A and B are shown apart, each in its own frame.
Chain A
C-alpha cells in the first residue's frame, strides 16, 4: 500500500508538480480494491463511481452491443489510471464495459472526493487537466494508427509500445484492439518468429 501510493505520487507529479500540501490531501482519498480475472468492474449503463489507479494486472475498456460488435478501446496496466473516464468525469451512465483481463489490484477514489479536491485546490485541478490532455494525445495518435496503418504496422507498433502484453492476455483481445482478424494476428505472430 505504501509503495503503491508512492507510485501514484510519481505519476501525478509527472502530470504536474504538486506542492507537498496538495499531495498530502490527494494521497488521503484512496482505498485499495481487488478483482479476479475476467470480472466486469463497471457495466454498460451504470455510472462510473470511481477513478482507479492500477497497481497490478491488466484491464480493458470495451464497447459491446446486441449485434455482437465488440471494440477494445484501451488497455490499462500499472502504473496508470483506469476506469471509464468519461462516465466518471461527467457522472453519466457508461457506454462501455470496464473489465479485468488478469487478477488485478487498484487504489481507487470516488468522484465526490476528487471533485471536492479539484474545487478547493487549484493545483489538483491543473494536475487532472494535464493528465487528461496526455490521454487525449494518446487517443488521437491511436485514431491515426487505426485509420492509416497496415495490420503489420499496427502489430509492430504494439510490439514496440507494450510487448509484455503478448504473454499476459489472450491474443484475441490484442487483435480486437488493433482492429485486425485473429487469424491475421497469428500469421503476424508467426512472421516475427521466423525473422
Chain B
C-alpha cells in the first residue's frame, strides 16, 4: 500500500516560533492542572465515574497517556534523526487541520467514541496514571523546545490508527494538544468532593 502524505489542500501559514510557543503554553497549563489538582486527589476521587456514567479523571488521563505512549517516542525518534533546518513558517495540512478541529473542544462539539485500543480500563491505579501523565507532559515540553530547531513542516509522523498515513510534526503537536485539552476539560467537569488536607 502506498503511503499517503497528507498535503491535499494547504492552509494558511503561521509563524513557527509563535505556534510552538503557544503550544508550549497550553501543555504548561495541562501540567499545572495535574500538579495542582489531580496528583493531590485520593484514589476514590480519581476513580469516581462522571455523573452521566462517563469516564473518571483517571480514565480521561489514561486515555491521553495511551496516545502519548505512541506519539511521544515516534516524534522524539523522527526529530532526532532529522537534520533539516527549521522553517520560519508552518502550514497546516488539510488532514492536520481536520483532526485538530475535530478534537478541539471549542470547535468539535460532537461526542466521539474512542477507538477500541484507546478505551481505558474501569479500575485504574489513579496516582500511577497521573504520574505518567505528568511525565508525558514534561517530555512534551522538552520536545516542543527542541522543535524550535527542527523542521515542523517537513518531518512526518505516521498516525497511530494507520501507519501508512503520515502527518506533519507541527500538526501532530496541534492535534495531540487539542485532544489533551478536550479530555482535561472532561476531567474537570467531574464533581469531586474536595476534602480539607490534614
B141 touches A168 (CB 8 A): no
Q: Which residues of the other chain, A, contact B160 by a CB distance below 8 angstroms?
A: none
Other-chain residue from A167, A190, A194, A195 in contact with B35 (beta carbon distance below 8 A) = A167
**Chain A residues close to B by CB (< 8 Å):** 37-38, 159, 163, 166-172, 182-183, 186, 189-190, 192-195
Q: A38-B138, A38-B141, A38-B142 are in contact. Are A166 and B40 (CB under 8 A)?
A: yes
The 30 sampled A-B contact pairs (Cβ below 8 Å) are A37-B28, A37-B31, A37-B141, A38-B142, A159-B198, A166-B40, A166-B197, A167-B35, A168-B35, A170-B35, A170-B39, A170-B131, A171-B39, A171-B127, A171-B131, A172-B134, A172-B135, A182-B131, A183-B127, A183-B128, A186-B127, A186-B128, A186-B131, A189-B39, A189-B127, A190-B127, A192-B198, A193-B197, A193-B198, A195-B198
Give the distance in Å from the alpha carbon of A189 to the alpha carbon of B28 in the complex: 24
Q: Which residues of the other chain, A, contact B195 by a CB distance below 8 angstroms?
A: 193
B127 touches A169 (CB 8 A): no
Q: For the complex, is B42 an interface residue (Cβ under 8 Å from A)?
A: yes
Q: Which residues of the other chain, B, contact A37 by a CB distance below 8 angstroms?
A: 28, 31, 141
Q: For the complex, is B43 an interface residue (Cβ under 8 Å from A)?
A: yes
Q: Which residues of chain B from 29 to 78 have a CB within 8 Å of any chain A CB?
A: 31, 34-36, 39-40, 42-43
* Nearest CB of A to B8, in Å: 37
* Nearest CB of A to B83, in Å: 24
**Which single residue of chain B is at the shortest CB-CB distance from A101?**
B35
B141 touches A190 (CB 8 A): no
Q: Which residues of the other chain, A, contact B142 by a CB distance below 8 angstroms?
A: 38
* Nearest CB of B to A60, in Å: 14
* Chain A to chain B: the 7 pairs with minimum beta-carbon distance, closest first: A186-B127, A193-B42, A192-B198, A170-B134, A167-B36, A171-B39, A195-B198
Interface centre among B34, B128, B131, B138 (most CB of A within 10 A): B131
Using A167-B40, A168-B35, A171-B39 as known contacts, list a sample of 5 further A-B pairs with CB atoms less than 8 Å apart, ordered by residue number in A: A38-B141, A170-B134, A171-B131, A183-B128, A189-B127
Give the distance in Å from the alpha carbon of A166 to the alpha carbon of B197 in the complex: 11
* Nearest CB of A to B72, in Å: 15
Give the distance in Å from the alpha carbon of A3 to the alpha carbon of B79 in the complex: 43
Give the distance in Å from the alpha carbon of A182 to the alpha carbon of B127 in the complex: 9
* Nearest CB of B to A103, in Å: 8
Other-chain residue from A163, A168, A183 in contact with B197 (beta carbon distance below 8 A) = A163
